[in-house]
Structure 1
Amino acid sequence: MSNFVMLLVEDDSLQREVLSDLLKDEGFEVVECATAEAAELIVASTGTELRALITDHNLAGRMTGLELAEYARSAHPGLNIVLMSGTVMAPLPPNTTFLRKPFAPAHLLAAV
């Protein structure tokens, strides 16, 4: 993995593709997941390689994006975490950036 690996967690395939393409166009390597459960395994096994976790809150499966963010923050305190949702969320794990959907692509790039 490169030094600029992003873990993108979004269950909507079109949104995931658009966000992934945006990040790849900026030179990032992107690992994509549709569920928090799948992403949790990646965080556990390669978390130190990740530059950022970008996750939607409402995901398919039993685990939410907020729960994934909390897990990732406890496992890797220095990880850059961006939580996305159509509704305002609080409280967030410490040092977590919140982006309310819809947002401008520049806001995501600034967050990572």
Structure 2
Amino acid sequence: MDIAPILLVEDDFLIRATLAAYLRERGGFTIVEADDATEALAVIEAYPRLSILVTDIQIPGMLNGVGVAAAARRKWPDLPVLYVTGAWPRDGESTGGDKRDSYVEKPFEVSAILRRIRTMLHGADNPDFLT
């Protein structure tokens, strides 16, 4: 199956680089990295499709991760979004609670992110993707 790239939006270089390398090496994914909202929006504009958006909620730029997800979903309405964050939305701020959304709280193990991505992309019914 042809898997489109994953957009990884994270402003902490070490977290982004470590997670991107792990997802490439262990998951076999193509990863497109962005460290702020402006870069993320440029990727969304440039790419014909993405398989999943993995984003922190608090990122530099004119939008936070929730805003980047909304922009991506204007182009790809069914795009799954994995929020990897240490900062849950404040009261009154929502990610929309979309059924395609998932959350992993920082700090995390990179293997947990890979498992969650595989589950989101391939479903929990296929154990071959979860190992």
Contact 2:58 2:87 in 1 (8 A): no
Max Rg structure: 2
- How far residue 83 of structure 1 moved from its aligned partner, in angstroms, is 1.3
Instruction: Give, as a single letter, the amino acid of the residue that structure 2 aligns with 1:18.
Output: T
Q: Classify 1:108/1:62 alpha carbon distance in 2 versus 1 (closer, same or farther; 3 Å).
A: same
The yes-or-no answer on 1:98 pairing with 2:103 is: yes
Post-superposition Cα deviations, 1:80-112, rounded to whole Å, max 9, x if no partner, equal 211121132363232211111112223211222
In the alignment, residue 81 of structure 1 is paired with which amino acid? Answer: V
- Separation in 2 of the partners of 1:21 and 1:67? 25
Structure having the higher strand fraction is: 1
Q: Distance in 2 between matches of 1:23 and 1:41?
A: 22
Q: TM-score, normalising length from structure 1?
A: 0.85
Q: Which runs of 5+ in 2 are unaligned?
A: 118-131
Aligned to 1:79: 79
Distance 2:48 2:76 in 1: 7
The TM-score with structure 2 as length reference comes to 0.74
Match runs of 1:1-112 below 5 Å: 3-25=3-25, 26-48=27-49, 50-89=50-89, 91-93=94-96, 94=98, 95-112=100-117
Deviation larger for 96-105 or 5-14: 96-105
After superposition, the CA RMSD in angstroms is 1.7
Could you tell me whether the CA contact under 8 Å between 2:6 and 2:52 is conserved in 1?
A: yes
Residue 47 of structure 1, CA deviation: 4.6
* Seq. identity, %: 29
Aligned length: 110
Q: How far apart are 1:36 and its partner, in Å? A: 1.2
Measured after TM superposition, the shift of residue 17 of structure 1 is 0.5
